[in-house]
Every structure is written in structure tokens, then in C-alpha cells.
Chains A and B, each alone.
Chain A
Amino acid sequence: MLCRAACSTSRKLVPALGSLGSRQKHSLPDLQYDYGALEPYINAQIMQLHHSKHHAAYVNNLNVTEEKYQEALAKGDVTAQIALQPALKFNGGGHINHTIFWTNLSPNGGGEPKGLIPLLGIDVWEHAYYLQYKNVRPDYLKAIWNVINWENVSERYMACKK
């Protein structure tokens, strides 16, 4: 079931159709807080690299891949379409996952949900924590609970429960 309305922050990633019906590109969403806002749990250097480099690369590469996919589709080239699937999954998945992740975090986060089951992603790629926590992933996992945006997670659940 698709999440709509209240799940505005979890809008299914569909680039809008322009007036001529041509597909518009995906774009890097802005964070709702500064890069340093989640300190000391996740530091500013990580947030800046993670958002402006890693997520940005997924967005750019997704757009390139969708462009190529469009061409393959138009030519009826099934082999090419299949060859593009891994790049679509990797970059499309990266874009979806990080778009959700930024909204799952907040400087006003932490505490406990009010009786609801969360819908929440925890990025455990090394780039998400290494500069600050090095090899000690468990310390990052301990810290991140201080910045979980329960409002957002609850919205997602409520909207998807319908």
C-alpha cells in the first residue's frame, strides 16, 4: 500500500511530469536541520559528507541510469534494460533509503515512541559512522537513539496502517 498524505515525508519517489509529459529528474532533498544539529551523536563532518556527497551521488547516478533506461525502453532493448537493473536498484535504493533516513533523525529526537511501532532505517554503511566511531559500530548504534525523530516514524506508521 502506498503511503500518502501524512506520509508527505515518505512520498514515493516519483519525479513530477513536466507540462510536455517529459520525466523530470530526481533531486537531493534538503535536510530539515543543520549538519551540526545532531551533535554529539552524529558529527557535522559525517552529516555533510553523507548528505552532500554520498546521497548526492546516488541521486546523480539514478538520474543517469533512468535516462539510459528510458532510451533502452524506447528502443525495446530488453537486454540493455536488464543490464541496467543493478544500477537502478543500487542508486534508486540509495536515494530512497537516505531520503527516509534524514527524516527519521532530528535534533529534537530521542526518548520513546508513544505506544506505536516505528518504521525506521538505520544506516550501517561505514561512511555513516566511521569518521566518528571508527570500527566501533555499537557505539554509533547506541548514540543514534538520541536523534530518532519519532514524530516522523509515527506518521509513517499511521499513514501506512490505513
Chain B
Amino acid sequence: MLCRAACRKLVPALGSLGSRQKHSLPDLQYDYGALEPYINAQIMQLHHSKHHAAYVNNLNVTEEKYQEALAKGDVTAQIALQPALKFNGGGHINHTIFWTNLSPNGGGEPKGELLDAIKRDFGSFDKFKEKLTAVSAGVQGSGWGWLGFNKDQGRLQIVACPNQDPLQGTTGLIPLLGIDVWEHAYYLQYKNVRPDYLKAIWNVINWENVSERYMACKK
């Protein structure tokens, strides 16, 4: 089931001639400095306008090449392009979700059905928070910690994904909340002390957005 509304799948619109339009960098709903002191403005600016922008640009280039390979029936070329598609496509998907998962008005705890589900599947909010923090801290190298929804089993799950592997594309889980643990997400402020970043980020989690994503996928 596709997530609509709050969790729009990234599909570039078709123009009037049916030609594929490009993906574009989404705007943040807040200023670069809005998440201070938890994530500083320099990180937010580099992370959004350089890193995420690069995924978008490279995704468009890769899709262009893929289109040509498809048209020529060149399967070898298509397969050769798969890593770039997964990396840049995943990067674009992941960061698009991430920016909405954060808010200057965030923090605290979720309410309502999401909180009920968290208590049911993890025992308590604190245990859930501990687990997502531990999984994110334990990522070796670059990757993401995720809270996802398992549609088949109707339950929440916490998993880590390496590099920019997108949660849904690689595991089938619907992404609700992602924690970016690539070093570029925190190094300028927290240096090697990833756990300090992971402690701070809970102050800016946008539970409204995470709840919206949950409600949309539960149907």
C-alpha cells in the first residue's frame, strides 16, 4: 500500500508530453538555524544544500542514463546503473523524510495511537527511545536508524540500514522516523561523539509528522 498525503512516494510528475520531469530538492519548513542548539545551522545548511542537493542532481543524471539504457534494451547498462540509483535515490528519499521528521517545535513524546503502538510493541516510550538510540549508535560506518511499520504483521519495528539504502525499498517496512548517522549529519558539532548527537536529536523530533505517517500507513 502506498503512503499518500503525509508520506508521498517520490514520483516526478509527468509533463504534458508524457516526458519525465526531474526530481527536485524540497525546501525545509524551517530555517537552517531553527534546530539549534541540538543541530547547528552550519550542519543543516551543508546537509540540505550540499549533500541532499547532490543526491537529487545525481539521481536525475542516473535516471536520464537509465531511460536511455531502457530505450536501447541494454540490460547490462541498466544493471550497471543500479548502485547509483539505489544510492542517490535512497539518499533523496531518506533525506526528504528526515527533514519532515525534525522540527524546532519538536521533542517530548508522541500522543494517541502512535504512543499506544509504541507501548504495545516496545513496552514503553523510554524503552523504544533506548532501542532506536542503540541501533543508531551501533551502525558501523554510514547509515540510518529507522522506526518502521511492518504492514504484514501490523507492528512497529526498529532496524538499521547501511549507506543510503531506503527502508521500504530494501526491507518492505514503511518509514516513519529516520535518524541519519552518516558523519556529515553531526561531525562538525559533535565530532566523534555520535552518542551525544543521538541524545540531542530527541529534542527536535516532530512527533506530529511521525504520527501522520503512522496513521496513513495503518489503513
Partners in one complex: yes
The answer to whether B187 and A130 have CB atoms under 8 Å apart is: yes
Q: Which of A86, A90, A127, A135 contacts B192 (CB 8 A)?
A: A127
Interface string of A119-147 (1 = CB under 8 A from B): 00000011100110011000000000000
Q: Tell whether B75 is near chain A: CB-to-CB under 8 Å.
A: no
Q: Tell whether A13 is near chain B: CB-to-CB under 8 Å.
A: no
Stretch in B46-54, B76-84, B110-118, B164-172 touching the partner: B46-54
Q: Tell whether A49 is near chain B: CB-to-CB under 8 Å.
A: yes
Q: Tell whether B183 is near chain A: CB-to-CB under 8 Å.
A: yes
Q: Tell whether A54 is near chain B: CB-to-CB under 8 Å.
A: yes
CA distance A54 to B183 in the complex (A): 12
CA distance A130 to B51 in the complex (A): 12
CA distance A134 to B49 in the complex (A): 12
- Chain A residues within an 8 Å CB radius of B188: 130-131, 134
The answer to whether A135 and B187 have CB atoms under 8 Å apart is: no
CA distance A103 to B182 in the complex (A): 27
CA distance A126 to B183 in the complex (A): 6
A82 to chain B, nearest CB (A): 17
B161 to chain A, nearest CB (A): 16
The answer to whether A131 and B187 have CB atoms under 8 Å apart is: yes
The answer to whether A135 and B50 have CB atoms under 8 Å apart is: yes
B186 to chain A, nearest CB (A): 10
**Residue in A closest to B191 when the chains form the complex, CB atoms:** A49
Q: Which of A49, A53, A130, A135 contacts B54 (CB 8 A)?
A: A135
- Chain B residues within an 8 Å CB radius of A57: 192
Q: Tell whether B154 is near chain A: CB-to-CB under 8 Å.
A: no
Interface string of B185-208 (1 = CB under 8 A from A): 001100110000000000000000
CA distance A54 to B192 in the complex (A): 7
Q: Which of B46, B54, B192 contacts A134 (CB 8 A)?
A: B46
The answer to whether B184 and A135 have CB atoms under 8 Å apart is: yes
30 contacts between A and B (CB under 8 A): A49-B191, A49-B192, A53-B191, A53-B192, A54-B192, A57-B192, A86-B140, A90-B140, A125-B141, A125-B183, A126-B142, A126-B182, A126-B183, A126-B184, A126-B187, A127-B183, A127-B187, A130-B184, A130-B188, A131-B187, A131-B188, A131-B191, A134-B46, A134-B50, A134-B184, A134-B188, A135-B46, A135-B50, A135-B51, A135-B184
